[in-house]
A and B are shown apart, each in its own frame.
Chain A
């Protein structure tokens, strides 16, 4: 009877290890930062061991903010033991007035895909790819459109449903089911708003970043 009991316990433990071991993980990638804001803020964990939960307040984006641009950098960490892709969906930004803040007024770009640390996997046969048009820093690439309004090569308007923004090969050397400090990659998600003569009001949006199995590229 004792033998069966131990066996059962071991099987249950193994099951626990197997069923909870996630091959894909997305988390905070470091301290988010904000520049150029008036009464703005950004909150989020600086620890790569914590979930990605970031709150951005761009603050005042009327001409009362005399800075040229409000820029927020959100580091995001990824881990996987298989090829992966990262998708983003956006909701909540639905201003009917075209002169109010629109999705196209929030620049969104990706930069700086880097190893978290020594336990990140370096693949030589495939690269991590920021999906076009997101591979840019919108604070640098912003231009004035033909109507005088600021335009970005990529913005929240480029997100349609769940949009793949990044994909690549295996990210982690180990096969640990536990988040570690150095077992993956980190990249910067960059958000910008240029203060303009927007119609007055308060706008908000929610972005959901998801990691899932991606194209089966070799490492």
Chain B
């Protein structure tokens, strides 16, 4: 074999070895860490505290609200016939909402009565409204909320005796449960919480106000069931 060819082959071998050496060492002076995180929309509704029942004759709060616990209260409104001489039986249920996004609080209600006539207690006889909205405490975002109800149903502006029928009626916009036979917006607003941990117990609080005017209702028993739902559209 000519020496020139051997020389070329050796050079080629050396080059290959060099390339091999470079690739085998595999050292590096840099490394990378890529990271990502997801923040989904989050909303929650809890009890804002104990229920206040007033104007009742008999009855009582069967299952009370516990602040920051799931909302599941049960109230016996007591006697709603004329033997109850109070002008209204009212129940105030504090709600607490928290979110990292704009929210909508909706409500739906059913009213079932054992009575069979038009004088039985119906959804329109149960006044409803949301009271003053409060956004206070560390970590709560300032914002303006829209109350779709007319507020305290016992206000004179929100109801009166019907001049024709004599029955007391809650007449203002969304001031009684007949307006909530299906899920209907009661309150909405912007993001509630700033970037704070869930352990921060603050939030938006608002009282849900229920009222019934004792009247000559048909005797019997009535069950009122209300469901609140908060969403982040």
Contacts and interface: CB of A to CB of B under 8 A. Distances in A.
A20 B7 contact: no
B16 to A, nearest CB: 10
Interface residues of A, number: 81
A55 B22 contact: no
A22 B35 contact: no
Given A79-B27, A202-B39, 11 more contacts: A5-B7, A8-B7, A15-B18, A16-B21, A59-B38, A63-B44, A76-B31, A99-B100, A147-B138, A148-B197, A197-B42
Interface of B: 3-4, 6-7, 10-11, 13-15, 17-19, 21-22, 24-42, 44, 98-101, 138-139, 141, 191-200, 202
Interface in A162-219: 177-179, 189, 191, 193-212
Given A99-B195, A179-B26, A51 B11 contact: no
Interface in A1-51: 1-2, 4-6, 8-10, 12-13, 15-17, 19-22, 24-28, 39, 49, 51
Contact of B32 (A5, A99, A149, A209): A209
Given A9-B14, A99-B195, A147-B139, A4 B7 contact: yes
A195 B198 contact: yes
B35 A212 contact: no
A197 B98 contact: yes
B55 to A, nearest CB: 38
B42 to A, nearest CB: 4
Interface in A93-151: 98-101, 105-106, 144, 147-150
Contacts of A66: 198
Among B19, B26, B36, B138, chain A packs the most CB atoms within 10 A around the CB of B36
B31 A52 contact: yes
B11 A8 contact: yes
B25 A21 contact: yes
